[in-house]
Structures are given as structure tokens and as C-alpha cells.
A and B are shown apart, each in its own frame.
Chain A
Amino acid sequence: MVTQGHQSHVLIIGAGASGSVAAARLAAAGFEVVCLEQGDWVGPADYMSAQPEAELAWVERWNPDPNVRQGLADYPLTGDADVRPVMYNGVGGGLVQWAAMWQTLLASDFRVRTLDGIADDWPIGWGDLADCYAQVARDMSVSGLGGDPALPEMDPYPNPPIPIGKIGRVAAEGMDRLGWHWWPGANAIASRRHGSLQACQRRGTCMIGCPENAKATPSLTHWPSAQAAGARLVTGARVTEIPVDEQGRVQGAAYLDRDGVEHFQQAQVVMLAANAVGTARLLLLSASSRFPDGLANSSGLVGRRLMQHPYRTVTVVCEDPLDSWQGPWGQVIYSLEFAETHPDRDFLRGAKWMVMPHGGPMFAAAEYQEAHRHDGFEAVWGANFHRAADEVFGHAFTWGIQAEDLPEDHNRVTLDPTMCDSSGLPAAHVEYRVSDNTRRMLDFNVARAVEAAEASGAVSTLVRDVWPTGIGHVLGTTRMGNDPQTSVVDRWCRAHDVPNLYVIDGGVFVTGGSANPTATIMANALRVTDHLIEARASQEIPA
């Protein structure tokens, strides 16, 4: 028998970055909210970050790749992809493991078609997000310094920036010598006690879970107030389908609990917040006679235009000790020098750079091995093994370079025809190619980063090719737009085809920019939720 949950006003699917924002806002406004999340609560007691084995957390349990981690809440990702998405499935979603780098999009990111003649414009502009950017930065206890001339003016961040430390200083001096843009990094890491966060203790384990509760994650920043206001969060609840009634309105969602028992949660409105892979998968799983190609997919764009910010790194090895195993592992400084289109370059759009520490000796060895992977066994093993610990460990920092990949229809998420998750649902099949434009962009930026390293006095650099696993940025598979034929949701992120279905995760991005996406995902989720609250009287609901 299928158990029926009491009808909620709003059902949110996914308790990650976007779902948590919506739940807290709706509950505060008096809505009855239920959120279904396939994963569990996690917190400091689950992390390995405070153990001597912290570096080993990456090998398996806290590897960001669900295919490696293979946790109960994870679903497999199959397919032939130059870059395979990574994510975390649990309360907080990707923000359990994120590096907390906080970056708004550029103003130009919303007008790529108008300015550069490629891709598409967004149906909204930077100004439409300005107030929400400021609000989510406060909610997330962001530490940073305003005034970056490369960005529109914004409210000050609630906390002072994290000190840039030795690595930031050396990197900034190089940029200063070259006359290139740099700015102290903003991070959703508390530089002092703020809101629900403690002050950062520089453990540098941010991406395997912060044991000090200093990094913003929704179980600290959003769920306590959401639950206090009455929101109900059901964990271990894997949504399998979102059915529609005869009028084409969604009625709620079917889900399986941890024991495989089927339930149905009724709702007047459904908000999908399962990330750009999970949401596309669920819409495709919800095909029906009315929507044979997948729910809300009359445009044929559900699952297409996946963007991931292909990523390369240049690790800068210096003579002096830089104590660079210390955290935080967010962005110490960043640069937007090469983030905009330039007429002299053989590619359109650009990349964002950011400086990070490199972690402990195991990481230093891995970085060394990756950079020398084509140089043969002798270069990194045997007599040369100790060079990594000797030369790189504690003496290096990394310039991470993330490219703006343009939306392309063939980069897509579909359902795997054979492989299933532990509940028997088809795995997500991902096809993704790094385009020539992106490769040229990365080659150019890597060459500039090596120049920056030299200007910083580097004794050597370790250059890596495009990372085969992603950096957790999954965008674009349910794009926003004004035209139902060329977009999945409207400017308020409501499905063109289904009046009571919203998508609020990173899938709605029209283009990806080069900024880390979460500030925009959360700001947009807040914008859309506020609109739903304001327009509640005119919201269509099932009979």
C-alpha cells in the first residue's frame, strides 16, 4: 500500500543549496512545507576531518565523486564524459563538501548573446539578483571585502575577509608586478563567530566537512530556522516520480523510504531542487502520456546544455616555506583579469582564477604525480618519490582556473537504459565534451598563470590537464527563458508547461559564467521563492 502524506502547500525536492533557501523562506512566511531528501543529516561526528587520517577521507568515504563514494543515497553516473559531474547527496547537498568560495556572476554574464553574439541572454539581469545576493551573503555568514571594481557595487559582506596569508601574499605580489586584477577571496566561512557559525580554525579540511562548524552549510544556516517555523524535512526519501492530473498540474511526488516502502506526498506546488543532474533525471523519469518526452519537456531541452566549468590547475612551487597545508581551503585571492571576452583572443568569454592551499603531503604527492603523468614511472616513483614531499609540500599553492563553458545541446543528461541505483531507478547518463573554445580558453589561461607564477618567484610549476572529474558545478539542464520553445522554465523559474511546478536549482542557468555558482543559485532561489510568496493568490493549484 502507498502511504499518503497530508497535503502540503509546497513540496521541495532536495535539501541542498537551493531547496534549503526556499524551505526557510516559505516556512517563515507561514507556508506548510515538506522537503524530501534522499540522503541523511551529516555533521562533525560523521566527518574524518579532525582525525590523523583526514587526508584519507578523499580516498573513499568523502570522495566527491558519487561513483567512488557509492553511499546509499548516491545514484550512479554513467556515460562518456570528458568531465564527470561530482556532488554530495544529503542534507545540504553539495554544500556539505563545497569549498565555500563565494562569487557573484559578472554583469556581462546575463547578456552573452547581446555582447558577444553567442549563447543566449538571461531573462533577468544582475540587478534583479542584487538584493538577494546581499541577503544570502548575510545568511551564509560570508567573509570578504567589497569594492572589487570588476563587479557591480554590492552591500558589504557581514564578516571581514579571511587573511590572505603567505600564499595569498606571494600570489598577489606576482599579479601586482604584472598589473593584473586580483582581489581577496570571499568565502562562506566565518572569519569570526557569526550567526550559527563558529570562527574558522584553519584546519583546511573544508571539502571533507568542517569539524568546527565554521563553514556555511544549510544544516547550520537554514534548517534550524526552517524547522522551527514548521518545515518538515524527510530524509532517506528518494523521489521516483512527479505525476500530473488531468489538467496537467503536478499533484505531489511519489517516493521510496530507506526500506523501499512507497509513499506519496501531496502538494499544491512542487519545487525541484535536486541539482542540474538530479532534476533533469526526475523530469525524464516522470514521462507520462501527457508528457511523453519527460515532464515539462515540450522544448526538448530538459537535460541538455549541461555546463560544468572545466577546470585546470597550475601549482606554484616556491623556495620559501608557505605553510600551505593550512586552511581554509576556500579561495584566498581570486582574479577576473581574463574573465571577459577580448577581441585579441581566439576564444569567446573567459575564466576565473583562484588561489588555494594544496593540502597535506599526500595531496602534494598526488599533484606532483598528476603533473608528471606523461613523464614515465621514474619521474615520480622510486628515487624521485620524495621530491614531492621535499620540494612541493608546504612550499606551494595552486591557481585553480575554471572556464566558462558555453551551453551546447549535445552536452546532456539522459536516463541510463540499463544501470540503476539502489532503488531500481535508472542511473543518470551524462554525455559531455569539452569544446574547442573551452580548450583554447584554458590553454591561454594556463599559459598566463605560469607567467603569474614566474612573477611570484616560483622555482617550478606543476601544470595539470583538464580534470576528468568536475568541481561540483552542474548547471543549465532546465534553462530559464521567455520563450517556451527554447527554454524549460520562465523568468520566475516556473515550468512553461506546468503551472504549479518550479525548478530552483543550478539547472536554470542560461549560461554558466566563470564564477563559482552557489551564490547565484541561492540568490535566485530566494528571488523566485519571494515571488511565489507575493503571487500566492494567483498561483494555480490542483483541484
Chain B
Amino acid sequence: MSGSGPTPAQRLTLDRLADVLVPEGRNMPAASAVGVSEGLLDRFLDAAPALAEPLLSLLDEAPAEGLDAFVRHLASQRPGDFAVLSTTVVGAYFLSAEVRRLTGYPGQQPNPLSVASEPDYLDMLERVYERHPGYRECS
């Protein structure tokens, strides 16, 4: 990540904005509870460095009060800025080991294929073959 990174005040603001988008519910923690404004944010910005500048200026712009209205305003009036905020929050949230455990997502892990056995769909395929009129002749 370039520059000195988000300040503590910017991180605090992100936590509060993030909870408007991703509050606690359905047995899942709120965004701030898993640390989206901490190490997860740093990992997110390492992967998507071009979002750092627009994100940080958005955090500076956020008002001290009325964050809920601010987020809704971004969503309805400033889709580009809203995409920066929501992509950061969602991206950082799903990096959390706790969130991955709760959703049952192991990450894009290797898991070898097996092509040794005969496919179990050949009966269905036989029916495709039988009912198909054949390809369209074109001579």
C-alpha cells in the first residue's frame, strides 16, 4: 500500500460507515466487530491500491453525525463513490477468518478432480440424443 495509510480517525469513520452497510444479523458479526478498518483494510488496499485515494477522501468527507443518511445519499446520488465504499467494506469483511468460518468458505483451495469413474448422467444424455432432431442442415 502506498503512502502512510489510513489515520486512526479515518479508520474509526470507516467502522461506523461499514456498520450501516453490514450490521450484525443472521448469526453474522457486524463489519466493525471483525476489524474491517484494521488489518483487513490494509490487506484490501494492498490488493486494490487504486481505491485508497478515493476511499480516504470519502472518509474525510463523512460528517460526524448522520452517517446513515450519508451512506444512503452516496448510494442514491453518487454511485461511483458508493462503489468505492461498499467494495472496500464487503471485500475486507469476507477476508476475515471469522466470517469465512461462519459462512463455510474455505477460500479458493485446490481440490483434485476425479475423472476415473464413468459419468452418472449418461441415461439423461441418451434421452437428449434420442429426442434431438439433429443439427440444422445448411447446404
Contact = CB atoms under 8 A, between A and B. Distances in A.
A499 interface: no
B20 A381 contact: yes
Contact of A202 (B47, B51, B110): B110
Contact of A55 (B46, B91, B124): B91
12 contacts: A53-B43, A106-B135, A108-B136, A149-B132, A163-B114, A176-B127, A204-B108, A360-B107, A377-B72, A382-B21, A385-B23, A385-B25
B56 interface: no
Contact of B110 (A183, A212, A393): A212
Contact of B94 (A152, A212, A362, A382): A362
Interface in A370-396: 377, 381-383, 385-387, 389-390, 393-394
B75 A381 contact: yes
Contact of A54 (B90, B108, B138): B108
A120 B108 CA distance: 44
Interface residues of B, number: 54
Interface string B1-45: 000000000000000000011110110100000000000000110
Closest 8 CB pairs of A and B: A201-B110, A56-B47, A386-B26, A149-B132, A111-B138, A59-B48, A108-B136, A60-B48
Interface of B: 20-23, 25-26, 28, 43-44, 46-51, 71-72, 75-76, 86-87, 90-91, 94-95, 99-100, 103-105, 107-115, 119-121, 124-125, 127-129, 131-132, 134-138
Contacts of B132: 149-150, 181
Contacts of A387: 26
Given A53-B43, A390-B26, A202 B138 contact: no
Nearest to A52: B107
A79 to B, nearest CB: 19
A114 B76 contact: no
B76 A377 contact: yes
Contact of A57 (B47, B49, B76, B115): B47
Interface string A335-372: 00000100000000000000000001110011000000
Interface of A is mostly: loop
A143 B103 CA distance: 32
A373 B45 CA distance: 26
A87 interface: no
A48 interface: yes
Contact of A176 (B47, B109, B124): B124
A204 B124 CA distance: 26
Contact of A200 (B28, B47, B95, B113): B113
Contacts of A61: 47-48
A164 interface: yes
Nearest to A189: B113
Given A110-B138, A340-B136, 7 more contacts: A52-B95, A59-B48, A111-B138, A162-B113, A176-B127, A366-B90, A381-B22
B112 A172 contact: no
A169 interface: yes
A325 interface: yes
Contacts of A202: 110-113
A386 B110 CA distance: 27
Contact of B115 (A53, A106, A149, A192): A192
A451 interface: no
Given A147-B129, A149-B134, A70 B50 contact: yes
Given A107-B136, A200-B113, A202-B112, A149 B105 contact: no
Given A55-B91, A106-B136, A150-B135, A325 B105 contact: yes
A60 B51 contact: yes
Given A60-B48, A162-B115, A394-B105, A173 B124 contact: yes
A431 B107 CA distance: 39
A201 B134 CA distance: 35
Contacts of A145: 119
Contacts of B115: 143, 159-163, 191-192
Contacts of A125: 138
Contacts of A168: 121
Contacts of A362: 90-91, 94
A326 B103 contact: no
